[in-house]
Amino acid sequence: MKLIIGLGNPGGQYKSNRHNVGHIVIDALASGKVRPSKLNLYKGLTLKKSDKFMNDSGSFVSELVSRFQVLASNLYVIHDDLDIRLGEFKIQFGKGPKVHNGLNDIYDNLGNKDFWHVRVGIDSRTKDQRLKTKGEEYVLEDFTDEEKVILDKVIKEICKKLATL
């Protein structure tokens, strides 16, 4: 069984925040709208959205790993990544962004980084904008309409890639 967890913050006010891209991807997977037609993405797959605030994600993930007895090789955590440009993503085992408090809490609770990181790029700022807006503020802003168009395209790519793993 594969467990795919999307990180984000609970509550409607955060629904369209950049920090909630993990929840947004899970919603897309669950809707079936972006599922590759020739692949059965849902066979042996459990999708979950974190129900705790981002920086407290560790206990949620740890509890699910224990409950479902998931091997590290079958755990996928989808999260926002400021180290990656909007429209890009990486799926890497044991490697996350330089700084991410939600992931740090997961590492502390699991005792390691040994799981799949689905790193979804959210940064569309220019160099000057990066100097003016702190990352912790930027991630709590909503995606713009233009960014949502780019995000929709990358979510389709992510779903196709997850279906092949």
End-to-end, the C-alpha distance of the chain in Å comes to 12
The span from the CA of 101 to the CA of 22, in Å, is: 14
For this structure, is 117 an active site residue? no
**Going by C-beta distance under 8 Å and a sequence separation of 6 or more, which residues neighbour residue 149?**
none
**Catalytic one among 19, 23, 100, 117?**
19
For residue 96, CA distances in Å to 83, 84, 146 come to 9, 11, 26
What residue type is assigned to position 81 of the chain? D
> Where does 103-148 show beta strands of DSSP type E?
116-123
The span from the CA of 140 to the CA of 130, in Å, is: 14
Residues tagged active-site = 19
